[in-house]
Amino acid sequence: MPRDFGGLEEFILESMRRTKIPGLSIAIVESGETVYARGFGFSDIGSGTNATPRTLYGIGSVTKSITALAIMQLVEQDKLRLDDAVEKYVPLKLQPFGVPVTIHHLLTHSSGVPDLGYADAFLSGVLGYDNSWLPVGSAEDVMTFLKDANEWAVAKPGERFFYLNEGYVLLGYIISKLSGLGYEEYVRLRILEPLGMNRTFFSKVNVEKDGDKATPYILDKEGKHNPSFFPYGISADGGLISNVFDLSNYLNMCLNKGEFDGKLLVNRKSFDLLVEPHTPIPDGIFGKLAYGYGWTITPNFCDLKLVSHGGSVGVYTSYVAYLPDRKFGVSVLANSGGLDSSIALYALSLLIGRNPKTLPFVATDRILSKLEGQYEAYKGTAKIAIAKRGGILYFEYKNKYEEEIIPLTPEKLEEDHATFYVMAAGVKTTFEFEIKDDKIELVDQRKKFVKKV
């Protein structure tokens, strides 16, 4: 495998520059060993403190895979079955279209109930995004919130994928009820301690006592970094705070299919169920996708199976992924929004000997970045801008009195030619870019523009 991570480090810094991520930590594992770990940027901008691999971040929905692991432990202990109805353990009748929701349905986001927005409303209120307020401080509060969930269902259980944070809150409640321990205590005793994840926490007290925590930031519309705080109160669906060294232990357990340092957390059969593609989800850039138990499964990432999950609590973002057939894994944590899968997938492609620049999202981003800029028509008679936000190009026209910002839908993206279109009033307008060595031309159905150097 390549031991020179210079190209990866350049990609990380450029990604952070573009997305304005303040600080980031990454670790790479191979066959039980951490072969690379580094922090980038700042864990705290105000004090100039650098991010390191020890820095703590919220991992968001990566917590779901740990919740699913706990459920499988209880299955092995014969305390529940995957096909048990949820209402057997929870004082709530979840029966979309008269069909009972099971443990399996909650694990795979296939209850038939679409996202009810409890997490969105909670985060928006707590972090001050808007004036919404949903005081859900416990699993019981969430169950009260779910009282009318059956009326909101759009499919029978098992028919369709709908990401449902509330479902994992219920799973956490079930873990507490059947184990005789609180959910967080169960996870600490049965998962975190056996894995040596001694700096992975749920509570503010433990995080503050540790001290090596990344300051979370909210990026405002002007791109300014506003110090914020972690939204304590989220638990089984996204409440863990961890670091990339601890997550390396977790990934090594996954690569060893349930075993770590001689300790068996679940047997091989149970672990295989966690990463089996159970529920189809909308296709991604690497083709068909599916959801397992707390994991997203990509069957064909560079001809290999990819197991992954991302997480976000607004002020922290995360992404964890591994290739079971090649024994490689990577975890990436950041202290703002803006982190996606690209850094981890770039790293994994390097590890398996593929050129990361050929990855679809890298090639696409390179082309879109080329097109971004200021354009002028004949002798400067008209001026427009092409702006890139995230993975979308926008056509922008502004004058003293008017402003028009239109998203462009891609049709063809090639290194020397790209076409986009806009639908308005039933009419399709095409935007065609010719990309030459020293010149980029844009032609729509009325004008030709040339990008200013």
SS3 174: helix
Residue 168 pLDDT level (bands cut at 50, 70, 90): very high
Q: Are 342 and 322 in contact (CB under 8 A)?
A: no
Token reading at 300: 């064909």
Which helix H or strand E contains 387, and what residues bound it? strand 383-389
pLDDT value at position 242?
A: 98
pLDDT value at position 288?
A: 87
**What does residue 403 show for φ and ψ, rounded to 5 degrees?**
-145, 130
SS3 177: helix
CA 395 from chain centre, in angstroms, equals 28
Lowest model confidence (mean pLDDT) among 194-198, 236-240, 295-299, 398-402: 398-402
Q: How far apart are CA 384 and CA 406, in angstroms?
A: 12
Compute, in degrees rounded to 10, the torsion defined by CA atoms 45, 49, 55, 58. Answer: -20
Q: How far apart are CA 283 and CA 96, in angstroms?
A: 25
**Mean pLDDT, to the nearest integer, of 262-280?**
97
pLDDT value at position 1?
A: 44
Token reading at 140: 């019981």
Three-state secondary structure string covering 24-82: EEEEEEECCEEEEEEEEEEEECCCCEECCCCCEEECHHHHHHHHHHHHHHHHHCCCCCC
pLDDT tens readout for residues 179-197 = 999 999 999 999 999 999 9
Lowest model confidence (mean pLDDT) among 174-178, 217-221, 423-427: 423-427
Q: How far apart are CA 82 and CA 237, in angstroms?
A: 18
Domains, the chain, with CATH or none:
6-358 (3.40.710.10), 370-451 (2.40.128.210)
**Mean pLDDT, to the nearest integer, of 246-266?**
98
pLDDT value at position 3?
A: 67
pLDDT value at position 221?
A: 82
The pairing of strands 448-451 and 440-443 is antiparallel
pLDDT value at position 2?
A: 46
Q: Are 122 and 136 in contact (CB under 8 A)?
A: yes
Q: Which residues, listed in sequence order, are joined to residue 392 by a DSSP beta bridge? A: 389
**Mean pLDDT, to the nearest integer, of 171-181?**
97
Token reading at 445: 């159905």
Q: Are 449 and 377 in contact (CB under 8 A)?
A: yes
Mean pLDDT (the chain, rounded):
94
pLDDT value at position 361?
A: 87
Q: How far apart are CA 349 and CA 217, in angstroms?
A: 30
Q: Are 307 and 322 in contact (CB under 8 A)?
A: yes
pLDDT tens readout for residues 292-346 = 999 999 999 999 999 999 999 999 999 999 999 999 999 999 999 989 999 999 9
The residue type at 209: K
Q: Are 319 and 299 in contact (CB under 8 A)?
A: no
Highest mean pLDDT, choosing among 40-49, 114-123, 283-292, 352-361: 40-49
